[in-house]
Structures are given as structure tokens and as C-alpha cells.
Amino acid sequence: MKRWTYVVIPILVLGSLIGWRIAQKRAEALDQAKMREMRMNAPVLVSTAPVAVRDIVHTFADTGTVQSPQNVKIAPKVSGRIEYLTAHEGDRVRGGQVLVRIDPSQVEALVHQQMAALAEAQYRLAQAQITQNSTNVGVNAQVRQQKAAVASAKADLNQVTRNYEALLAAANANVTDTQNRIDNANAAIKAAQANLDNANTKYNRIYDLYKQGFIAAQDVDDARAAVSVQQSALEIAQGQLGSAAAQKDAAVQQAGIVANKGKADIEASRAKLEQAEASLEFASANTAQKSAYAQSIAALKAGVDAAKASLRSAQAQRADTELVSPLDGYVTGRYMDQGAMATPGQPILAVQFVKQVWVTISVPEEISPMVHIGRPATVTFDALPGRRFTGSVIQLNHAADLESRQFVARVILSNKDNLFKPGMFAHVELEVERVKSTICVPREAIQRDKMGPCVVVVEKGNKARRRPVTTGVSDDSFTAIEGVEPGESVVTLSAFPVRDGMTVIPGGKGKPGKRGKR
């Protein structure tokens, strides 16, 4: 009996404890169910954001390096010892400032040599020009003289020809006249017989003087007429006939003389003309000397021009012994020291322009069509924390790198305060697209259910209503949607799921996004 008592009592106690625990669990579960129901029916604390009209901005971010738009390595064109070089890295220089001077001794000697060569060439040209002038004057005078001689010979030939024609016509007329006198003499031969001897003597004397050129032909005609008169007295017909015959013979002979002499005179004048023309041709041939002299002058002028060019080249080399800064900037490299030997093309100094700087970035292939010259960009620097700088795209390479398949773009920044140094590390945020004046909500306000995208709108009385929307373009913070109106509030964050029709307690405003651009 006692044994059963020891067994039953523990079992009863254990059963009581188990029953009590089960009852307690049931009570706790009931309490929890009540609490869950209370929580589900209780208002939910949410964060909201207003629906607003703003710009959707697409950006591309990349890291880049600051570069100088002009990085000039100053190298000489001539060789020689560097006798002046004081600039060092970090020195500020001005455009046109002399930075390097190379020993100009050899170049100075070359300049003087070319000056002497030019003076000699100019002297030879001056001497040739003097000779050319005198030669041209002589040739021109000779040509003019021979032209005058030709004109005179032509005039003489014309005069002789006209005289010949006039004398020949007169001689032929005289022959005709004597024939008429023969006829008259035959009638008067008997009347001049008495004085025939005296008249013949007188006639012969006058005729001799006529042939000697001392008297005129008229006197001969008068004497001949007297003979005829006297002949007619003796034998009018005989004397007149003989006299007339003699006159005819004389006239015929005179006509022959006139013809022969005239032809000879014409030939002589023609020969003079040909001689004058030959002399003119010879004088004109001498004008070829003018062309030869002109070619010689041209060659000497070319020599003077060549000497001038050589002198300018030597003077340019002398100017090249001084190396000046081509821009305002800073010395960023020094590769030689004073006293070293410089050679053409070997850099001595490097000067960079820093009033404006470039930030070079790489743009992916899919972004490159949206990047254009003038696109705004925001640049930040690790070395300048908390500061943002604005610039714009100034260059875009339209050929991609064959290895990376990316395009190089450069953003220009003003560096008037000299904050940026070539080689600095920069972060570039490049605006590639902007959609203006769209109805937007924060991206975290967009939810998705079985019907598609939706938002939870807080209506009057803080009632939550799930509303389907149509989404559009997005940026890092906002999404353009259709189905809501500007000014409405949407839920962006909640501690518990918000059911349709639930009362909510707006506990704070949603974050406007990383950029908050409008």
C-alpha cells in the first residue's frame, strides 16, 4: 500500500504541473493573439514624401586625373652650351619670359659671314646694273641713228626716182620738138645762108659752154634758132634741116644720157637704202645684248635674294639661342642644368598652363552617345573635402580605346584660385540626360504586387490606399510615375506592412534622395 502511494503521488503532482503549464501556455497564446490583433488594427508609423514635379537627371560618375591643357616641353633648335638657366620646378613664368640662353658665339659668326656675303652680292648687282644702263643707251642710240639713215635713204630714192621721171619726160619732149624744127628748117634753109658761118661759130661756142654747164639750154636754143635763121638765108631748107637733124640727134643723145644717169642714180639710191637697212638690222641685232644683260641681272638679283635668305636664316638661329616661355604657367620639369651641352630637340624645361585645367575621364560605350560638348559636370576632390566644382565637357574623343572600348572625355575647370594641380585625383559626376518637369516620387516609394507597380497614398484621415501607377524614367533618387497628383503624400518607409485602408501615423518625411535636384 505504501509502495503504490509513493508511485501515485509523484504522478499526480507531475500531471498537475503539466496541466498547469498547458493552461498557462494557452493563456499566453491567447494573449499574444489578442496583441497581434491589436497591433494589426493599430495605426502604423510610416515615413512619407510628397509627390512633386521635378527634373529627372541621369548622371555618370567616374574618377579622373587633372591635366594641363597645355604642357609644353621647351627644347632648343640649335646646339651649344647653356649659359643661362635659373628656372626650377614650381617657378611661375610669364609668356615671352626668357628661360634659357645658349652660347651664341658660333651663330653670331655665321650672321656676320652672311652679312658680308649679302654686301658682296649687292655690290656685284649694282656694278652690273651700271653696265647695263650704258649698254642699253648705246644700243638704243645706234638703232635710232640707223632708222634715221634708212628713212633718209628712202627719201633720197624717192627724190631720185621723181627727178629721173621728170628729166626723161623733158628729154622725150625735146626730141619731139626737134623733129618739128627739122620740118621748119627745110622751109627756111635758104633764108639763113648769108649769116650761116657767123651763126655756126656762135652756136658752137654757146654749145661748148652749155656742155660745160656754164649757160642754160635756152641760150643754146637761141643760138640754134639764129643758125636756123641764117641757114634759111643761105639755104632755108638745107640749113634748117641740118640744124634740126643735129638738134634731134642731140635730143636723142640727151634723152639716153638722162635715162642712163637716172637709172644709175636710182640704183645708187637703192644701194644706199639697202646699206642703211643692213646697218639697222645689225644695230637691232645688238639689242639681243639687252636680253643677255637682263638675264645676268636677274641671276645677280637671285643671288642677292639667296644671300638675304641665308642672313635671315642665320639671324633666326641667333634668335633661337634664347628660349622663351610660350605661355603663362608654372615650370613642372627641369631636365638640364646651366653649363650643360644642349642639342636640338632635347627638352630642357617643361611649362604647363594651369589657369584652366582638364579632368580626363573614360566614358563607356553605352554612355558615349549621350555625352556632348558643353554637358555640365560636377567635380570633387579628395584633397578638397566638402567642396564641389562645376565644369563642362570640352572635348570628347569619338574613337574608343581598342583595349578598354571606352571613350576619353575632358571636363574643363576654371583654376583662377590655383586650387587644382596637374596629376590630382578627381571624382566626376557627368550629367548625360535631363527630363524636365515630370511628376516624381522617391524610388523607395515604388512597390510591386501581382498587378504591377504601385504606391501607398496617404489620403484624408491618414488612411492608406494602395494605388497602381505607371512608372517612367528614373534617376538615382526619383522615378517618374503616372496615377498620382502633385502634392499627394506617398509612403516611403514603414515598420510593418501597410494594408489598404489602414490608418497610418506619418512619423517623418521620407528622404528626398541623394541629390534632391529640381
- Residue 200, CA distances (Å) to 204, 241, 329 in order: 6, 14, 133
* pLDDT score of 361: 92
Strand 349-352 to strand 71-74: parallel, antiparallel, or no bridges (unpaired)? antiparallel
Cell of 288: 639681243
| H or E, element range at 72 | strand 71-74
Cell of 397: 574623343
| Cβ neighbour number for residue 204 with a 10 Å cutoff | 12
* pLDDT score of 4: 61
Cell of 275: 646699206
Give the separation between CA 121 and CA 297, rounded to whole angstroms: 11
Phi, psi for 476 (deg, rounded to 5): -65, -20
Contacts of 376 (CB under 8 A, 6+ apart): 390, 391, 392, 431
Cell of 489: 503624400
Beta strands in 397-463 (DSSP E): 407-414, 425-442, 447-449, 452-458
Kindly report the three-state secondary structure assignment for every residue of 313-373. HHHHHHHCCEEECCCCEEEEEECCCCCCEECCCCCCEEEECCCEEEEEEEECCCCHHHCCC
Give the separation between CA 487 and CA 510, rounded to whole angstroms: 14
Amino acid residing at 42: A
Strand 44-50 to strand 504-509: parallel, antiparallel, or no bridges (unpaired)? parallel
- pTM of structure: 0.47
Closest by Cα among 466, 516, 473, 461 to 490: 466
Per-residue pLDDT tens listing for the chain (518 residues): 456 666 667 776 677 777 777 877 777 777 676 666 555 556 778 888 899 998 888 788 899 999 999 889 989 988 888 889 888 988 889 988 898 988 887 777 777 888 888 888 888 878 777 765 555 555 565 667 767 777 777 777 787 787 777 777 777 777 777 777 666 666 555 555 556 667 778 778 887 887 887 787 787 777 777 766 666 666 556 655 666 677 677 777 777 776 777 777 777 777 777 777 777 666 665 555 556 566 777 887 788 888 888 888 877 878 888 888 988 888 989 999 988 888 888 999 999 988 899 999 999 988 888 888 988 899 999 999 999 999 999 998 989 888 888 999 999 999 988 899 998 999 999 888 788 889 999 988 888 888 889 999 988 888 888 889 999 888 878 889 988 889 888 988 887 788 888 888 887 554 444 433 32
| Cβ neighbour number for residue 280 with a 10 Å cutoff | 20
Question: Could you tell me the strand order of the sheet in which 71-74 lies?
Answer: 71-74, 349-352, 329-334, 92-93
Cell of 305: 635674294
* pLDDT score of 7: 64
Q: Which residue is associated with the grid cell 494594408?
A: 499
Strand 376-381 to strand 464-468: parallel, antiparallel, or no bridges (unpaired)? unpaired
The interaxial angle of helices 105-188 and 288-319, nearest 10 deg, is 170
Could you give the 3-state DSSP secondary structure of residue 141? helix
Cell of 500: 489598404
* pLDDT score of 230: 66
Tell me if 391 sits within 8 A of 411, measured CB to CB: yes
Tell me if 466 sits within 8 A of 458, measured CB to CB: no
* pLDDT score of 142: 65
Closest by Cα among 29, 31, 51, 43 to 491: 51
Rg (CA), the chain: 67
